[in-house]
């Protein structure tokens, strides 16, 4: 029983991090109609900016506050200076551009920080493992579960319950009609792209104490995030949550119960879901 609880928490912690990355990827596709290959690099950037913040202040918590606006602002800047000009071009341009941005950012980080992984210390408050009825579990992972869940509910409420959320959904549904009705579509796109990058950055800084900040963390996370988004349905926040839970469970339980097949399980689940719902669990048929 203790073991089951531990595995459940492991899956939830993995899902929490995955959600922070995949939510932004899904939003950007829903609203900008861009498949953003650079999204993982913003996750990595979050981890590195977090490392610098912790190094400068000596505290972990300021990093959680500082990183999202910094990474988000950089994302918004890149949207206005590059992506904006290719929305009407064929998708191959988006692929080349976002892939190029990913390479440039990754190599810039290598030049700035060097090839060695950067360790980020746990906040003092969450340094120890706590006893949950016979299971020794790291308190920081519990925090990641809570963080992922809170952000998920927050984003969902924002999109459903606020006027700004309404405008965003309108742009996602039909950007030309929203434009005619007076919505500033260009601005919505910039802000959504920035917010998506900020979420990825938050994911990166939250992951850093568990995985360190390292080169290549962006590439490895983006593959998982794509699987999440495909399972959940492109453009759906609820879908990202469901997808994160499914992928998180497939990865952690797979590695525990079926180690030989651990690599395959995630893709097998995705394949199975696509057979019945090609547009994903929460996606809409187009």
Partner 1 sequence: MKRRDFLKVSTVGAVGTSMLAVPRGTWAQGPIKIGMPAALSGSNAQYGIQAKRAAELFARDVKAKGILGRPVEFIYEDTAGDPATAVRKAQKLVEKDGVKFLTGVALSSEALAVSAKCPEWKVVFMSTINGAGSLTTKSFHRYFFRVNTSGPMGARAVSLYLAEAPMKRFFALGSDYAWGRDSVASFTSQITAAKKEVVGTDFSPVGTKDFASYIAKIRQSKAEGVYLVLAGQDATIYLRQAHQFGLSREVKPIMEILELENMKAVGDAMVGAIGSSRYPFTIDTPKNRDFVKRFHDLHGMYPDMFDGETYEGLEWLAQVIAKAGTDDVEKVIDAWEDSTYEGLEGSFLMRKCDHQAVQPGFAVECVKDAKYPHPVPKVLATYPGDKVTPKCRTEDFA
Check: CB of residue 212 under 8 Å from CB of residue 50: no
Contact string (CB under 8 A) for partner 1, positions 12-31, x = contact: -xx-----------------
Whichever of 130 and 272 has its CB closer to partner 1, that residue is 130
Q: Should residue 214 be labelled a site residue for partner 1 when binding is judged by CB under 8 A?
A: yes
Residue 209 CB, shortest distance to partner 1, in Å, is 8
Question: Could you tell me the smallest distance in angstroms from the CB atom of residue 285 to partner 1?
Answer: 33
> Could you say whether residue 189 binds partner 1 (CB under 8 A)?
no
**Using the rule CB under 8 A, which residue among 122, 142, 186, 281 binds partner 1?**
122
Angle between helices 237-257 and 2-32 (to 10 degrees): 140
Nearest distance from C-beta of residue 84 to partner 1, angstroms: 24
For residue 231, report the phi and psi dihedrals to the nearest 5 degrees.
Answer: -65, -45
Is residue 133 involved in binding partner 1 (CB under 8 A)?
Answer: no
Q: With CB under 8 A, what is the number of residues at the site for partner 1? A: 42
Cβ neighbours around 151 below 10 Å, total: 18
Which residue of 28, 215, 229, 241 would you call a contact of partner 1, by CB under 8 A?
215
CA R_g for the chain: 19
Q: Which is nearer to partner 1, 127 or 187 (CB)?
A: 127
- Which tokens go with 265? 């399980």
Question: CA neighbours within 13 Å on the CB side: how many for 261?
Answer: 10
Please count the residues of the chain. Answer: 286
| Residue 3 in the binding site for partner 1 (CB under 8 A) | yes
210 binds partner 1 (CB under 8 A): yes
Closest CA to 66 of 74, 244, 282, 38: 74
The burial of 149, by beta-carbon neighbours within 10 Å (0-12 exposed, 13-18 middle, 19 or more buried), is given as middle
Looking at 137, 193, 226, 282, which residue binds partner 1 (CB under 8 A)?
Answer: 137
Considering only residues 239 to 278 of the shown chain, the ones binding partner 1 according to CB under 8 A are 251-253, 255-256, 259, 262-263
93 is a contact residue toward partner 1 (CB under 8 A):
no
The answer to whether 117 contacts partner 1 (rule: CB under 8 A) is: yes
The tokens for 135 are 């299971």
When the beta carbons of 64 and 210 are compared against partner 1, the nearer one is 210
Three-state DSSP at 138 gives strand
Contact between 119 and partner 1 by CB under 8 A: the answer reads yes
Residue span binding partner 1 (CB under 8 A) among the ranges 84-92, 115-123, 185-193, 226-234: 115-123
H helices of the chain, where? 2-32, 39-57, 61-81, 91-113, 139-161, 163-173, 175-180, 185-211, 217-232, 237-257, 262-276
Residue with tokens 């490392």: 51
Footprint on this chain of partner 1 (rule: CB under 8 A): 3, 6-7, 10, 13-14, 103, 107, 110, 115-119, 121-122, 128-129, 136-138, 140-141, 207, 209-212, 214-217, 220-221, 251-253, 255-256, 259, 262-263
């Amino acid at each position: 029983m203790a073991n089951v609880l531990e595995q459940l928490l492991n899956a939830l912690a993995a899902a929490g991090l995955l959600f922070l990355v995949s939510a932004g990827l899904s939003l950007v596709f829903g609203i900008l109609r861009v498949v953003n290959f650079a999204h993982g690099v913003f996750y990595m950037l979050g981890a590195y900016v977090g490392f610098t913040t912790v190094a400068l202040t000596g505290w972990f918590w300021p990093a959680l506050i500082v990183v999202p606006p910094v990474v988000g602002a950089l994302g918004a800047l890149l949207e206005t200076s590059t992506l904006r000009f290719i929305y009407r071009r064929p998708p191959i341009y988006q692929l080349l551009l976002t892939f190029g941005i990913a390479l440039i950012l990754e190599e810039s980080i290598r030049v700035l920080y060097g090839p060695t992984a950067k360790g980020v210390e746990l906040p003092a408050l969450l340094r120890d493992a706590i006893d949950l009825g016979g299971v020794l579990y790291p308190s920081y992972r519990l925090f990641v579960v809570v963080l992922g869940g809170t952000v998920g509910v927050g984003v969902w409420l924002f999109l459903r319950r606020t006027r700004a959320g309404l405008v965003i959904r309108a742009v996602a549904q039909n950007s030309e009609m929203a434009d005619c009705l007076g919505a500033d579509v260009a601005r919505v796109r910039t802000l959504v792209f920035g917010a998506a990058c900020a979420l990825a950055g938050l994911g990166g800084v939250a992951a850093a104490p568990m995985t360190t900040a390292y080169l290549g963390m962006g590439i490895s996370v983006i593959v998982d995030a794509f699987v999440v988004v495909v399972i959940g349905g492109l453009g759906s926040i609820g879908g990202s949550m469901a997808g994160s839970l499914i992928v998180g469970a497939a990865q952690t339980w797979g590695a525990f119960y079926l180690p030989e097949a651990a690599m395959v399980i995630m893709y097998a689940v995705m394949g199975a879901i696509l057979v019945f719902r090609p547009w994903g669990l929460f996606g809409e048929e187009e």
